[in-house]
Amino acid sequence: MVSHRLEMKIRNVRIFAIPAAMLVFVTAVIPLIVLATSVIDRADIFSIWTKPPVQRALVFSLWQALLSTAFTIFLGVIATWYLSRYQFFGRRTFIALVTVPFVLPTVAVGAAFIAVLPKALHHSTLAIVLAHIFFNISIVVRTVGPRWNSIDDQLIDSARTLGASPLQTWRHVIMPLGKNAVFSATALTFFMCFTSYGIITILGGPGLATLDIEIYRRAVQLGDLSGATVLAIAQMLLIAIAFLLWSRSRSTELIAFRVQAVSHRRLSLAPKCFFLALAAFFTVPLLALVAASMRTSHSWSLKGWKVFLGIQNQRGIDFNMWRAIQTSGKYALIASCIALPTGIAATYALSNRRSSQSRLSALVILPLAISPVVVGLAILITYDFQPFDFRSSWLLIPVVHAAIALPFVMRSALPVVDGIPNDLRSAASTLGAGPWRRFFTVELPLLKPAISTGLAFSMAMSLGEFGATSFLTRRESRTIPIIIASLFGKAGEIPRTTGMVASLVLIVLTAMIVVTIDRKSHI
Amino acid sequence: MSLIIDNISFSYGDRPILSGLSLEVPTGTTTAVVAPSGSGKSTLLRIIAGLIAPSTGSIILDGKDLSRVPTHLRSIGMVFQDNQLFPHLNVYDNVMFGLRMAKTEKTIAAKRCRDLLDLVGLSQVAKQSVATLSGGESKRVALARALAPSPRLLLLDEPLTGLDSELHDRLAHDLQRILHATSTTALLVTHSLPEAEIISDSLHRLPTAVNSVQDGEKK
């Protein structure tokens, strides 16, 4: 009887979405409602837009995002085409090289571009656009790659036998077949660039502030919560539109680009040069970061490392690096422990079901459409009174990290869960496996790739998260990205070199985690 | 004037697929090459279409050596074994594809397209997605699409494989009728002798993996 009731309950798999929905509710929905209803001074709704810094931020956000998106898509589409259709030396390594940056910590990548660019370009639109390309090409490769990878060679042959020149084939067959994926990649890239925060914190400057930076400046430095909130809500609406466009197509699961057998076509000289240049673009900033971590302006020196490791004291630098590493590691572990089970359970509940589930799924994916800065601000405002004063609880940050990682966990798990045939479950049942047994012996092993990708994603997201954390962090709970940003905010050479060291350590840590946990899907 | 295949050889790495193959397809006729699977039939068609280059030998169409002519300029149509219809285009637009590539004047192209759909008996599904078609219908669309730009030569790669037997026989006769009605010069490769006998005017056999065509036998 009991087991029968259990069976009934488990059949109603929708309940598996509850933990995820609660997580999103607590970290996003409630705070956003509170944000929208409590602190806005009505006068600000219109007057805020007349303030020159706000206008500048709005224009700059749009303009740099458009520019970054255009270049990212252009280069990404070319790279994706060759990666998905041609066999060449170093192809696998290259796929890893372009897909890993997406999960790297934004502030650390900003530091890498400081290290590689000449001083005159340190705080420039060019630096920002380059860093955005570095980050977001992987979106194009991950979303469009699988689509093009699956086009039958003979379909292209058939276009050629019908008289289509290579250019016509591209225009009439290849682009239309990848259109939805390219479109989603464009929307997501635009969203990422528009809400860019970590990169701009490091590479921005006077006149180079995005809306997110302006929100932070208003809320934290000017204490203008009402103005910050108006901006946050306006930004949310704008992104919601972009997000709606994005979610139109389901070809957007951020699954890792799996390397499939491709034809034996060889690259000609021009694409070879293109890939050589792109390889340099992806590696040189990181190499420059290694060099910069061991240099002061005139000579080689390990001062930065000494300060970083606490061997040498430096006035104005008061953090304990070991503690920061511990904090970051602890948060990443907790965030994954929350995001992974809730995310996979929710994916289970939402997979293979159409109608009534879509609203629920929108709820869980919601955090993806909201900039972490806005989430940070909303939480800061919401949970500041008894008995809900969670702001001082150290658990708040990993919980928020988990909510931010959740959509990524779900997006990588969805195709895997969807791919488990129902008959397989039935077969296990007819062989005498109960629902739990079936889950642990049949489904869990099949979910392994989703679990490892989700784990890698959530760890990396938490390690690099900067937007929400910058609002919620306390002196004793500073993560590595927070420390990097504060080091680059200080004047002087030693803080900067130490910042380079911290960035390098964070990048290596993240890349190691992603590549070890998720090796199969990247290489 | 015709298609002349002159001493074609091809190998994948060390594995020879075709060696010293010669063959002639007279204008306005259908010639069949009958051979078991894995004997290089498809490879032969891909070489003729210019999709792969032979190790040696040449393809001569209407007196012109095609060695240096890229696929899209050869005016050689091909019906692929699994049709390869464009999934993003409906039936009509699939048939129109070649005419669009050739920038054929719109009213002429539309008429040609309608005529061909009539010929293959699919006018009523013109606006449908190709995903909704049955196996036999897909094959007819593939045929109409290949014929639309009026190719100088049509290649047919196992055109009736995978269809159930009743449909197979009916389509074989249809194919013969359509190729005649359009007086298309065609080269058919198949593993089925009865199929070849229905569709083609003359046939050749390729007995083993590496072979040269033995004497063509007249039906």
The 10s digit of each residue's pLDDT in A178-196 is 888 888 888 888 888 988 8
Q: Helix count (H) and strand count (E) of chain A?
A: 27, 0
- How high is the pLDDT of residue A259? 46
**Is residue A329 over pLDDT 90?**
yes
**Is residue A255 over pLDDT 70?**
no
- Whether residue A163 and residue B49 make contact (CB cut-off 8 A), yes or no, is no
Angle (CA) A312-A317-A323 rounded to 5° is: 80
- Whether residue B86 and residue A173 make contact (CB cut-off 8 A), yes or no, is yes
Chain B residue closest in CA terms to A176: B88
Residue B204 pairs in a beta bridge with B33
Render A423-468 in DSSP notation, one character per residue.
HHHHHHHHTT--HHHHIIIIIHHHHHHHHHHHHHHHHHHHHH--HH
- Whether residue B149 and residue A161 make contact (CB cut-off 8 A), yes or no, is no
Of 1.10.240.10, 1.10.3720.10, 3.90.1150.10, 1.20.1250.20, which CATH number belongs to A39-292? Answer: 1.10.3720.10
- The shortest C-alpha distance from A169 to chain B (Å) reads 9
Q: Are A235 and A374 in contact (CB under 8 A)?
A: yes
Which residues of A155-272 form beta strands (DSSP E)? Answer: none
Residue B79 pairs in a beta bridge with B156
CA-to-CA distance for A306 and A323, rounded, in angstroms? 16
> Which of B73, B80, B88 has the CB atom closest to A176's CB atom?
B88
Q: Are A417 and A448 in contact (CB under 8 A)?
A: no
A337 Cβ contact list (under 8 Å, min separation 6): none
**Band of pLDDT at residue A262, cut at 50, 70 and 90:** low
CA distances from A176 to A247, B13, B37, B109 (A): 18, 35, 34, 22
Tell me how far apart the terminal alpha carbons of chain A are, to the nearest angstrom: 49
CA-to-CA distance for B219 and B216, rounded, in angstroms? 9
Q: Which chain A residues have a beta carbon less than 8 Å from that of B89?
A: 176
Q: Which chain A residues have a beta carbon less than 8 Å from that of B78?
A: 157-158, 161
Burial of residue A514 (CB within 10 Å: 0-12, 13-18, 19+) is buried
- Whether residue B101 and residue A158 make contact (CB cut-off 8 A), yes or no, is no
- Which amino acid is residue A44, in one-letter code? D
Do residue B65 and residue B160 come from a single domain? yes
**Band of pLDDT at residue A489, cut at 50, 70 and 90:** confident
Average pLDDT, chain B: 86
Residue B76 pairs in a beta bridge with B153
CA distances from A500 to A209, A302, A495 (A): 22, 12, 9
**Band of pLDDT at residue A336, cut at 50, 70 and 90:** very high
- How high is the pLDDT of residue A368? 63
CB atoms within 10 A of CB A26: 18
* Predicted complex ipTM: 0.83
- How high is the pLDDT of residue B219? 37
Report the relative pairing of strands B76-79 and B56-61 from DSSP bridges.
Answer: unpaired
Angle (CA) B43-B46-B51 rounded to 5° is: 130
Q: Which chain A residues have a beta carbon less than 8 Å from that of B76?
A: 161
Average pLDDT, chain A: 82
Query: At A253, which helix (H) or strand (E)?
Result: none
A127 φ/ψ angles, rounded to the nearest 5 degrees? -60, -45
Tell me how far apart the terminal alpha carbons of chain B are, to the nearest angstrom: 22
Chain A residue closest in CA terms to B50: A161
- Whether residue B75 and residue A163 make contact (CB cut-off 8 A), yes or no, is yes
CA distances from A389 to A80, A183, A334, A372, A381 (A): 48, 42, 20, 20, 10
Q: Which chain B residues have a beta carbon less than 8 Å from that of A155?
A: 84, 86
SS3 assignment, position B54: coil
- Express as a percent the part of chain A with pLDDT over 70: 86
Q: Which chain A residues have a beta carbon less than 8 Å from that of B75?
A: 163
> Which of A154, A163, A179 has the CB atom closest to B101's CB atom?
A163
Instruction: Of A197-201, A295-299, A411-415, B210-214, give the lowest mean pLDDT range.
Output: B210-214
Structure tokens of B215?
């004497």
Do residue B37 and residue B122 come from a single domain? no
Domain annotation covers residue B175: yes
Do residue B52 and residue B70 come from a single domain? yes
Domain boundaries, chain A: 39-292
Report long-range pairs for A123-126 (Cβ below 8 Å, ≥24 apart): A123/A203, A123/A204, A123/A205, A123/A206, A123/A208, A124/A203, A124/A208, A125/A63, A125/A64, A125/A67, A125/A208
Chain B residue closest in CA terms to A177: B88
Q: Are A56 and A209 in contact (CB under 8 A)?
A: yes
Q: Which chain A residues have a beta carbon less than 8 Å from that of B102?
A: 163
Q: Which chain A residues have a beta carbon less than 8 Å from that of B77?
A: 161-162
Q: Which CATH number goes with the domain that contains B189?
A: 3.40.50.300
- The shortest C-alpha distance from B48 to chain A (Å) reads 11
SS3 assignment, position B34: strand
Domain annotation covers residue B80: no
**Band of pLDDT at residue A289, cut at 50, 70 and 90:** very high
CA-to-CA distance for A5 and A3, rounded, in angstroms? 5
- Whether residue A162 and residue B97 make contact (CB cut-off 8 A), yes or no, is yes
- How high is the pLDDT of residue A355? 40
- Which amino acid is residue A275, in one-letter code? F
**Is residue B67 over pLDDT 70?**
yes
Do residue B11 and residue B67 come from a single domain? yes
- How high is the pLDDT of residue A519? 63
- Which amino acid is residue A65, in one-letter code? A
- Whether residue A161 and residue B100 make contact (CB cut-off 8 A), yes or no, is no
**B84 close to A (CB below 8 A):** yes
- Whether residue B146 and residue A155 make contact (CB cut-off 8 A), yes or no, is no
Do residue B61 and residue B93 come from a single domain? no
Whether the bond into B87 is cis, omega within 30 of 0 = no
Domain count, chain B: 2
CA-to-CA distance for A106 and A482, rounded, in angstroms? 11
**A161 close to B (CB below 8 A):** yes
- How high is the pLDDT of residue A242? 65
**Is residue B7 over pLDDT 80?**
yes
The alpha carbon of A111 is separated from its chain's Cα centroid by a whole number of angstroms, namely 18
- The shortest C-alpha distance from A165 to chain B (Å) reads 6
- A153, A155, A160, A162: best mutation site toward chain B, by most B Cβ within 10 Å? A162
pLDDT digits (tens, 9 = 90+) for A340-391: 999 888 887 777 554 444 554 555 555 666 788 888 888 888 887 666 666 6
**B208 close to A (CB below 8 A):** no
- The shortest C-alpha distance from A73 to chain B (Å) reads 22
**Band of pLDDT at residue A520, cut at 50, 70 and 90:** low
**B219 close to A (CB below 8 A):** no
**Is residue B210 over pLDDT 80?**
no
CA-to-CA distance for A253 and A245, rounded, in angstroms? 14
**Is residue A256 over pLDDT 60?**
no
Which of these, B67, B46, B48, B41, lies nearest to B3 by C-alpha position?
A: B48
- Whether residue A157 and residue B46 make contact (CB cut-off 8 A), yes or no, is yes
Sign of the torsion formed by the C-alpha atoms of A483, A486, A488 and A491: negative
Q: Which chain A residues have a beta carbon less than 8 Å from that of B155?
A: 161
More confident of the two residues A401 and B207: A401
> Which of A161, A168, A179 has the CB atom closest to B77's CB atom?
A161
pLDDT digits (tens, 9 = 90+) for B107-156: 999 999 999 999 888 999 999 999 899 888 999 999 999 999 999 999 99
Residues 37-56 of B with CB under 8 A from A: 46, 49-51
Q: What is the pTM of this model?
A: 0.81
- How high is the pLDDT of residue A357? 47
**Is residue B27 over pLDDT 80?**
yes
Domain annotation covers residue B107: yes
- A148, A158, A180: best mutation site toward chain B, by most B Cβ within 10 Å? A158
- How high is the pLDDT of residue A386? 61
Query: At B72, which helix (H) or strand (E)?
Result: none
Chain A residue closest in CA terms to B77: A161
- B97, B138, B153: best mutation site toward chain A, by most A Cβ within 10 Å? B97
**Is residue A225 over pLDDT 70?**
yes
Residues 130-159 of A with CB under 8 A from B: 152, 154-155, 157-159
**A168 close to B (CB below 8 A):** yes
Which of these, B47, B79, B51, lies nearest to B158 by C-alpha position?
A: B79
Do residue B108 and residue B195 come from a single domain? no
CA-to-CA distance for A262 and B171, rounded, in angstroms? 34
- Whether residue A163 and residue B84 make contact (CB cut-off 8 A), yes or no, is no
- How high is the pLDDT of residue A510? 92
Do residue B6 and residue B71 come from a single domain? yes
A327 φ/ψ angles, rounded to the nearest 5 degrees? -60, -50
Q: Are A194 and A369 in contact (CB under 8 A)?
A: no
Helices A269-292 and A106-116: angle between axes, nearest 10 degrees: 100
Please state the rounded mean pLDDT for residues B83-89. Answer: 90
- The shortest C-alpha distance from B72 to chain A (Å) reads 4
CA-to-CA distance for A512 and B170, rounded, in angstroms? 62
- Which amino acid is residue B31, in one-letter code? T
- Which amino acid is residue B93, in one-letter code? D
More confident of the two residues A137 and A422: A137
- Whether residue B101 and residue A165 make contact (CB cut-off 8 A), yes or no, is yes
Do residue B139 and residue B169 come from a single domain? no
Render A265-315 in DSSP notation, one character per residue.
PPP-HHHHHHHHHHHHHHHHHHHHHHHHTTB-SSSB--HHHHHHHTSS-BT
Provide the residue range defining the domain that includes B141: 85-147
Q: Which chain B residues have a beta carbon less than 8 Å from that of A166?
A: 72
SS3 assignment, position B131: helix
Q: Which chain A residues have a beta carbon less than 8 Å from that of B100?
A: 172
Do residue B40 and residue B95 come from a single domain? no
How many Cα atoms occupy the beta-carbon half-sphere of A517 within 13 Å?
21
- How high is the pLDDT of residue B145? 93
What does DSSP assign to residue A475?
G
Structure tokens of A80?
């994706």
CA-to-CA distance for A480 and A394, rounded, in angstroms? 15
Please state the rounded mean pLDDT for residues B79-91. Answer: 90
CA distances from A333 to A137, A199, A337, A509 (A): 28, 24, 6, 13
Name the most confidently modeled range: A156-160, A435-439, B190-194: A156-160
Do residue B131 and residue B160 come from a single domain? no
Q: To the nearest 10°, the Cα dihedral for B193, B194, B200, B202?
A: 50
